[in-house]
Amino acid sequence: MIRFLSLFTIIAAVTCTSAASTQEVALRPGEQLPGKMYTQMSERPHITVGQANADLVGADNRALQAAVDYIAALGGGTVQIGPGQYTMHDSLHLRPHVTVRGTKGKTILRKADGVVSPLAADGDFGEEQITVKDPTGFAVGYGVTILEDGASGFHITTARITGRRDNVFSISKPLMSDCMVHSNARAATVFPVVSVYHAENVCIEDLIVEGNKDNNVILNGCRGAGIFLYQGHNATIRGCVTRNYNGDGIGFQQSNDVTVSDCVTEHNAVLGMHPGSGSQRPTVRHCIARHNGTDGLFLCWRVKYGTFENNLMEANGRFGISIGHKDSDNLFRGNTIRRNKQHGLFFRNETEPMAPHRNRFEQNIVENNGGAEIRIRGAVRDLAFSNDVIRDAQEQGEQNIGIQIEEQVGPIRLENVKIETPTAIDDRRP
């Protein structure tokens, strides 16, 4: 239950702003803000939400969402979330120009236990309702994902339940593909715990996202993560922890100029961090990705002109960093990549038009990974490594190759690279 106090407060707040935010525009005295008919204000909308002693009192996603929507209706500002655990039956859907700030180390957004039911009738492309065999655990206002066997990526639908009649539920978005009973079509109450859709200049700070993966089915990284952005340009994610999500920890798709800093992604079922689908100019710095099911950092498709610096990718189930389809012109600097199960740094096998060209690696440490420390595949060219340290000091097991270069790889530049492995470079090019 949500309790509203009789008076909301609007007080001065330090807002989280991006480089593109109007808050950082240098204005002359009396000059109006860009796109606005008013000058710079010294106070911005601010509201507190918590389990006691707050403007809005509640302990689930409804209280949090009410606070976000209130601030959004005023044009943006800050939602301050108090300490405690909040049960999430749906995403916290963020809005443009809204900062959501937790109490550091104490604000936990926990994914509710999920349920799954087969569909009782086919879900057709574009339809905005589903019919489930067992409606137990589905309710109006809950988040829901609909898919069938073989569906992946953006062909999966994630939405909100907006109405009910017996075992028929209306949903907030049209189905993105046919979901056929004969293909094991099903609905599940899984969703991103925090989400940004089609919203700019959002800031997420100091939240702990508890994914509760043992009680939820997996959600594909193109449609969800512990914190998930889709066309969330100029967003900032700072000081957050995402853990135990049955999917990716932090993911952003088709989202330009995203900054992720001082975050930890750990023990998630799939990827630690997943920028993709044409997300350009990302910045990821001072983050830790460890003990995730596959890769610590996975650059998906067309991630370009990004900066990834001073991060730790440790003890992930596959690669420390994976780079592939059109992921070109990025800078990786000062990262430590160690003790991942397979390769520390892995270039996926792409043909020349799709290969991740012109990536630069400076002052990184790549050490003690399970396969070759760095494995370069495909027709990639013009990679540059400078002042990196590549080594294997493991006491047990077979020590690694430093850099494995496969047959189709083009020119690579190595400058001041220190390699301490029994085989420094295994170059298989003709």
Q: What whole-number distance in Å separates Cα of residue 398 and Cα of residue 386? A: 27
- Residue 18 has what pLDDT? 43
**pLDDT tier at 14 (50, 70, 90 boundaries)?**
very low
Of 172, 162, 182, 265, which is closest to residue 221 (Cα–Cα)? 265
Share of the chain above pLDDT 90, in %: 88
pLDDT of 293 strictly over 70: yes
Q: Is the pLDDT of residue 92 over 80?
A: yes
Q: How far is CA 305 from CA 4, 271, 309, in A?
A: 45, 21, 13
Which 3 state secondary structure label does DSSP give 242? strand
d(CA 284, CA 307): 6
pLDDT (0 to 100) of residue 24: 53
pLDDT at 342 over 70: yes
Tell me what pLDDT residue 12 has: 38
The values of phi and psi at residue 337, to 5°, are -125, 105
- Measured in degrees and rounded to the nearest 5, phi and psi for residue 164 equal -150, 140
Of all residues in the chain, the percent with pLDDT exceeding 70 is 93
Phi-psi region of 234 (alpha: psi -120 to 50; beta: other; left: phi over 0): left
Contact 223, 190 (CB under 8 A): no
Residues 235-288 have pLDDT tens digits of 999 999 999 999 999 999 999 999 999 999 999 999 999 999 999 999 999 999
| Angstrom distance (rounded) from CA 226 to CA 234 | 19
Short-list 45, 43, 58, CA closest to 5:
58
Q: What is the pLDDT of residue 399?
A: 63
- Decide: 248 and 225 in contact? Cβ < 8 Å: yes
pLDDT 10s digits, 214-240: 999 999 988 899 999 999 999 999 999
Q: How many helices (H) and strands (E) does the chain have?
A: 1, 42
- CA atoms of 287 and 307, how far apart (whole Å): 12
Within 10 A of 309 (CB to CB), how many other CB atoms are there?
18
Alpha helices per DSSP H over 32-104 = 61-73
Question: How high does pLDDT run on average in the chain?
Answer: 93
Q: Which of 183, 191, 184 is nearest to 220 (CA)?
A: 191
Phi and psi dihedrals of 336, rounded to 5? -115, 125
Tokens of 43: 């106070």
Distance in angstroms (rounded) separating the CA atoms of residues 231 and 277: 10
Pairing of strands 259-261, 236-238: parallel
Confidence of residue 400 (pLDDT cuts 50, 70, 90): confident
User: What's the rounded mean pLDDT across residues 360-380?
Assistant: 97
Q: Is the pTM of this model over 0.85?
A: yes
pLDDT score of 398: 57
Cα distances (Å, whole numbers) of residue 336 to 362, 390, 410: 11, 10, 26
Collapse the DSSP code of 17 into the 3-class scheme (helix H, G, I; strand E, B; otherwise coil) and give the result: coil
- What single string gives the DSSP state of each residue in 163-225? EEETTEEEESS--SS-B-GGGT-EEE----SEEEES--S-EEES-EEE--GGGS----TTT--
Q: Report how far Cα 61 is from the mean position of its chain's Cα atoms.
A: 19
Q: How far apart are CA 347 and CA 356, in angstroms?
A: 8
pLDDT value for 5? 43
Q: Which position has the token pair 């049209």?
A: 174
